[in-house]
């Protein structure tokens, strides 16, 4: 797909410095860009590439004034980092509709299903009974959508996604490949003979609007009631959200984070990679857990930064670490 500098400037509300008819066909990083590429400059440490780049167009902040000649056409915007996000989203929206196959007889679009206008369904996708899918959704091949599932508008389900019965997915969500939503929670009761009896998991999962779930992430259904991932949450690949967990708005979690059952997480929390959180805890809003933190107690104060396993205050950890390092030095 080719775009001119005029079209991009109109899309991003930018100002052109250079050739208004310059054309590009793909985005690229500024270090590796070639003619026909568009890239962006926002971090001062990359300024040298503005002058050496072979890109046809570079997005820059309106405050940027080059100190050397620039061969590329510049498009000045309020925030180059934000603008390139909008541009990439535009590119992706134009590409994704070409990736689907809609000719297969295996589209099971019958029996009390409601499919919104503009929604595209990939080959070999199964859709159960009483399913509702909103407008302008993209469902890639080999997706499973169980009975009584509801999906909002403009949501994307990548190949291999599995959504079990009775779950609710909001609008503007992105669910990456092999995500499983609504599998049974890990609930077992001990018997006298030292075996385990399975506890029926009768609830569902609610994923609110603007949520993104990374590849191979799992969100288990509640034992009773709902496991809830509130709007704006972003989960990386291989995260695990257990039964009856509630994840607050705009919380983000890096890869391999696991949250045990019935824990409530506040809004705007940040969890690093490989964080482990025990069950039945309450975590205050704006809590930050550094990578590999193991949390076994509730966090009652907002804006706490914790590290270590078991977790404790970040500043205290760093002071203790300095003493630990000092004690390990040889005379």
CATH of the domain at 46: 3.40.1390.10
For residue 137, being part of any structural domain is answered with no
Q: How far is residue 4's CA from residue 73's CA, in Å, rounded to a whole number?
A: 11
- Asked if 185 and 302 sit in the same domain, the reply is yes
Residue where one domain finishes, among candidates 68, 96, 124: 96
Q: How much is the pLDDT for 305?
A: 97
Question: What is the C-alpha separation between 133 and 105, in angstroms, rounded?
Answer: 19
40 located within any domain:
yes
How many CA atoms are closer than 13 Å to the CA of 180, on its beta-carbon side?
13
Give, in order, the Cα–Cα distances in Å from 171 to each of 41, 157, 191, 207, 322.
32, 12, 43, 9, 48
| Domain containing residue 264: CATH number | 2.160.10.10
Instruction: Identify the weakest region by mean pLDDT among 94-98, 116-120, 279-283.
Output: 94-98
User: Of 63, 96, 129, which residue constitutes the final position of a domain?
Assistant: 96
Structural domain includes residue 130: no
What's the number of domains the chain is made of?
A: 2
pLDDT of 98 reads 53
Phi, psi (degrees; rounded to nearest 5) at 92: -65, -40
Confidence of residue 323 (pLDDT cuts 50, 70, 90): confident
Q: Is residue 52 part of a domain?
A: yes
Q: What is the mean pLDDT of residues 90-98?
A: 67
Using the Cα atoms of residue 179, residue 181, residue 183 and residue 189 in order, give the sign of their dihedral: positive
68, 51 Cβ separation under 8 angstroms: yes
Indicate the average pLDDT of the chain.
92
Q: Is the pTM of this model over 0.85?
A: no
Are residues 79 and 216 both part of a single domain? no
Based on the fold, state whether residues 76 and 172 are members of the same structural domain: no
SS3 43: coil
Give the end of a domain, one of 96, 122, 145. Answer: 96
- 59 in helix, strand or coil? strand
**68 CB burial (10 A radius; 0-12, 13-18, 19+):** exposed
Q: Residue 105: which pLDDT band, with cuts at 50, 70 and 90?
A: very low
pLDDT for 331 equals: 53
- pLDDT confidence bin for 330, thresholds 50/70/90: low
Confidence check: pLDDT of 128 > 90: yes
The whole-number pLDDT of residue 311 equals: 94
Q: Is 32 a member of any domain?
A: yes
Query: What is the residue-wise DSSP string for 135-180?
Result: TT-EE-TT-EE-TT-EE-TT-EE-TT-EE-TT-EE-SS-EE-TT-E
pLDDT, tens only, 42-77: 999 999 999 999 999 999 999 999 999 999 999 999
Question: Are 172 and 191 in contact, with CB atoms under 8 Å apart?
Answer: no
CB 204 within 8 A of CB 222: yes
Task: Quick: pLDDT tens for 169-210.
Answer: 999 999 999 999 999 999 999 999 999 999 999 999 999 999
Domain-located, residue 111: no
Same domain, 298 and 216: yes
Whether residue 252 lies inside any domain: the answer is yes
Q: Please tell me the predicted confidence (pLDDT) of residue 327.
A: 74
First to last CA, the chain: 65
CA–CA gap between residue 235 and residue 179 (Å, rounded): 11
Q: Residue 151: inside a domain, yes or no?
A: no
Residues 211, 301: one domain? yes
- The count of residues in the chain is 331
Provide CB contacts within 8 A for 20, sequence distance 6+: 4, 5, 6, 9, 73
Same domain, residue pair 184 and 312: yes
Strands 57-61 and 305-307: unpaired
Give the domain extent around 16: 3-96
Distances (CA, A) of 136 to 155, 156, 207, 215: 7, 9, 18, 22
Using pLDDT thresholds of 50, 70 and 90, give the confidence band for residue 124. Answer: very high
Whether the predicted pLDDT of 158 surpasses 50? yes
pLDDT value at position 103? Answer: 44
Q: Are residues 89 and 167 in the same domain?
A: no
Residue 135 has pLDDT above 80, yes or no: yes
Same domain, 182 and 84: no
Cis ω on the peptide bond leading into residue 153 (within 30° of 0)?
A: no
pLDDT at position 290, please? 97
Q: What's the rounded mean pLDDT across residues 122-129?
A: 94
Same-domain pairing of 182 and 34: no
> Which residues are identified as catalytic?
243
Q: Model confidence at 7, in pLDDT bands (50, 70, 90)? A: very high
Residue 156, both tokens: 């994307």
| pLDDT at residue 109 is higher than 70 | no
Together in a domain, 178 and 290: yes
């Amino acid at each position: 797909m080719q775009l001119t500098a005029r079209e991009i400037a109109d899309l991003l509300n930018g100002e052109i410095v250079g050739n208004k008819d310059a054309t590009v066909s793909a985005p690229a990083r500024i270090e590796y860009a070639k003619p026909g590429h568009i890239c962006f400059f926002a971090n001062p440490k990359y300024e040298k590439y503005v002058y050496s780049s072979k890109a046809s167009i570079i997005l820059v902040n309106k405050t940027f004034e080059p100190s050397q000649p620039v061969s590329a056409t510049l498009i000045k915007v309020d925030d180059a980092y934000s603008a390139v996000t909008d541009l990439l989203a535009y590119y992706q929206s134009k590409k994704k509709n070409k990736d689907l196959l809609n000719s297969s007889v295996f589209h099971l679009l019958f029996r009390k299903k409601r499919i919104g206008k503009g929604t595209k369904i990939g080959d070999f996708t199964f859709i159960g009974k009483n399913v509702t899918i909103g407008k302008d959704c993209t469902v890639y091949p080999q997706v499973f959508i169980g009975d009584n599932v509801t999906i909002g508008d403009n949501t994307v389900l990548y190949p291999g996604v599995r959504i079990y019965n009775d779950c609710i997915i909001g609008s503007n969500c992105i669910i990456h490949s092999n995500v499983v939503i609504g599998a049974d929670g890990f609930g077992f009761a001990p018997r006298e003979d030292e075996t385990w009896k399975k506890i029926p998991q009768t609830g569902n999962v609610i994923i609110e609007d603007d949520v993104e779930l990374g590849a191979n992430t799992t969100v288990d259904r509640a034992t009773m009631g709902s496991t809830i991932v509130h709007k704006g949450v972003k989960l990386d690949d291989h995260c695990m959200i257990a039964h009856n967990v509630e994840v607050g708005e705009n919380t983000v979690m890096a890869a391999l984070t696991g949250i045990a059952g019935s824990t409530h997480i506040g809004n705007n929390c940040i969890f690093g990679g490989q964080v482990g959180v025990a069950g039945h805890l309450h975590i205050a809003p704006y809590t930050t857990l550094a990578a590999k933190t193991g949390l076994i107690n509730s966090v009652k104060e907002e804006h706490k930064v914790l590290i270590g396993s078991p977790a404790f205050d970040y500043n205290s950890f760093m002071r203790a670490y300095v003493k630990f390092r000092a004690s390990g030095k040889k005379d």
